[in-house]
Amino acid sequence: MSNQLFENIKALHLVPLLNQGVFGIEKEGQRVTESGTLSQQPHPRQLGSRTFHPYITTDFAEMQTELVTDTFDQTSDVHQQLLALEQVLQASMETSEYIWPLSMPPILPADEQAIPISAYSVDVKDYRDYLTQRYGRRLQMVSGVHYNFSLSPTLLVRLFDEHYHNDFVNLKDFSDALYMHIAQNYIRYHYVLTYLFGASPIAETGFLADMQQLPEHPVRSLRASEWFGYRNKQLSIQFDSVAHYVDSMHQAITKGSLISEREYYGAVRLRSHSLDEMLSTGVDYLEFRGFDINPYTETGIDQQQLDFLHLFFTYLLSLPQLAGDLPAQINTGNQLNNAIALEDPTQPSQFQAQLKTFMADLAQFMTDYQLDARFKQAWAAMNTRVQDYQQTLSYQLVSEIKDGSLTTFAMKQARQFKRQLTEKPFQLQGYTDMELSTQMVMFDAFQKGLHVAVLDRSDQFIELTHQQHHELVKNGNMTSLDRLISWPLVDNKVVTKIVLANQGIRVPAGAEYTDLAVAKRDYQAAFGQRAIVIKPKTSNMGAGITTFLTRPSEIDFVTAFKLAQQYDQQVLVEEYIAGSEYRFLVMDHQVQAVLERVPANVVGDGHATITQLVAKKNRNELRGEDHRTPLQNIRLGAREQLILKQQGYQIDDVPMRGSQVFLLQNSNISNGGDSVDVTDEIDQSYFAIAEKVAAILNLSVAGIDIIIPNLYQSYDVKHPEMAVVLEANYNPAMLMHLFPMMGKQRRVTIKMLAMLFPELEIETNS
Count other C-beta atoms under 10 Å from residue 141's C-beta.
Answer: 25
pLDDT on residue 155: 96
pLDDT at 2: 58
Ranges of the chain whose pLDDT falls below 50:
766
As a whole number of angstroms, the distance between CA 48 and CA 52 comes to 9
How many angstroms from the chain centroid is the CA of residue 240?
Answer: 40
Q: Is the dihedral of CA 66, 67, 72, 77 positive or negative?
A: negative
Which domains occur in the chain, in start order?
16-423 (3.30.590.20), 509-575 (3.30.1490.20), 580-760 (3.30.470.20)
What is the reported pLDDT for 234? 75
- Supply the pLDDT for residue 467: 93
Q: What pLDDT score was predicted for residue 216?
A: 83
SS3 30: strand
Q: What is the CA radius of gyration of the chain?
A: 32
CA-CA distance, 62 to 91, in Å (whole number)?
Answer: 18
Q: How far is CA 593 from CA 309, 584, 596, 646, 682, in A?
A: 48, 6, 10, 33, 10
CA distance 456 to 742: 34
Q: What is the pLDDT of residue 667?
A: 79
Return d(Cα 694, Cα 584) in angstroms, integer: 10
Cβ 315 vs Cβ 365: under 8 Å: yes
Q: Is-contact 76 105, C-beta < 8 A?
A: no
State the pLDDT at residue 206.
78
Q: What is the DSSP letter of 183?
A: H
Q: Which pLDDT tens digit goes with each residue over 373-384?
A: 999 999 999 999
For 593, list phi and psi in degrees, rounded to 5. Answer: -160, 150
pLDDT for 766: 47
